[in-house]
Amino acid sequence: MNGPAKVLVVDDSILFRTKLRISLSEDPALTVVGSAMDPEDAMRKIEQLKPDVITLDVEMPKMNGIEFLRKLIPKNPIPVIVVTSLPMNALDALEAGAVDFVNKPQAGVAGDVENFLQTLRTKVKMAAQAKVRRPLTQAVQRPSLVQRMAAPAIQASSDTVIAIGASTGGTEAIIEVVKTLPENTPGIVIVQHMPPNFTNLYAQRLNRICKMKVKEAQDMDRVLQGHIIIAAGGYHLTLKKDARGYYIRSLQGERVSGHCPSVDVMFDSVADCAGSKAIGVILTGMGADGARGITKLHKTGAYTIGQDRESCVVYGMPMEAYRMGGISKQLPLDSISDEILYKLSRKA
C-alpha cells in the first residue's frame, strides 16, 4: 500500500462519527476519506471512495452491521473493524468476516475513551495489512481427515496435551481447527486474545459447534480428554500437573507481551509442565505474543505447528515464532486439524 490507509467511518451517531474522524486523522498512517450514517449510505460511499479499511458500528437503523457484513464481504472483502459494546454482536461480526472488533468506551469511565481511540487506531492500521477471511460457509471445503474417518486412531498417552494460541482472526481460525476433532482427543487449552465478558460467550459458541466439550477457564479446572478450556478474558491461563494429571490455574496478573491472557504465559507453562508430551499450535495474530513461549516449548521436544502466511488474517505471531525457530511445521489453516490427528495417531 502506498501512502496512508484510506478509512471510511460508519456510525449512525454524528457525534461519534466526528470523534472517530478526528482521532483517526491524527495518525499519519491513516486518512479518513469519508463517513456514512448507515449501511445503505456506506454501500454508496464504498463505491465512490474505495476505502482500504472500514470502521463499523453494529447497532444502526435500516440494516444492522452484521447484515451489512454478510452482504459486503463475499462480494467486496474490505477489512472491517467493528465497534460495539455487545459481546454477541462482536462474535457474530467476526463470523461474518470482520477482521477484529473494539469495545465501545463506557460513559463516565476515566481514560476509557482515550484507550478506546488508541486501540482503534492500532487495529485500523493492522487491518489495512490484513487478509480478509470470507465466511467459511461461502468457501468450498474439502473433507478433512477427521470427517473421512469414523473413529480416528488416537494413540496419545494420558500425558498428552494440546495448546493453541491466537489473536487477530483467531476466533474463526480456532473453530476451523477444533470443530471436528473427535471426542477422544486429548485435553486442549486455548488462549485467544479477548476482553472479559467475551470469552464465555465464545466458549459457549464453540461448545455448540464442536464434538469436544468446551468451557471458559475457571481456576483449578482439570484438563480432561475430550474437553477444551478457553482462557478467560483478563486472566492468565497456566498449565499445572499433580498425581491426578493436568489442571489449570486461571489468575489475574499484569499484561505479558502486551496481553492478559497471554499466549506466551500459557506456552511457557506447557513447556515446563508437559514438555515433549505437548502439541503446540500458534495461529493468526498481530504482534509476537506466543512466539517466545512456543519456541521454548519446541526446544523441549514438543511438536509445534504454525499457521502459514497465506491462510493467516495477520501473519504476525506465527511469523515471529517461525523466525525464532520455534515451529516444527508451517501449514495452511485447513490442514492443521489433520496434522494434529496424524501426530496423535503416532504418539505413544
* Active site positions, annotated: 167, 193, 289
Spatial CA neighbour of 87 closest among 58, 130, 118, 122: 58
DSSP 8-state code for residue 315: B
Per DSSP, which regions of the chain are E strands? 5-10, 30-36, 53-57, 80-84, 100-103, 161-166, 188-192, 213-216, 227-230, 236-242, 245-251, 278-282, 303-307, 329-331
Spatial CA neighbour of 136 closest among 279, 311, 269: 311
Can you tell me the distance from the alpha carbon of 270 to that of 112, in angstroms, rounded to the nearest whole number? 34
Which position has the grid cell 447484515?
A: 67
Can you tell me the distance from the alpha carbon of 330 to that of 347, in angstroms, rounded to the nearest whole number? 20
What's the one-letter identity of residue 70? R
Instruction: Please give the distance of CA 223 from its chain centroid, rounded to a whole number.
Output: 21
Contact 24, 120 (CB under 8 A): yes
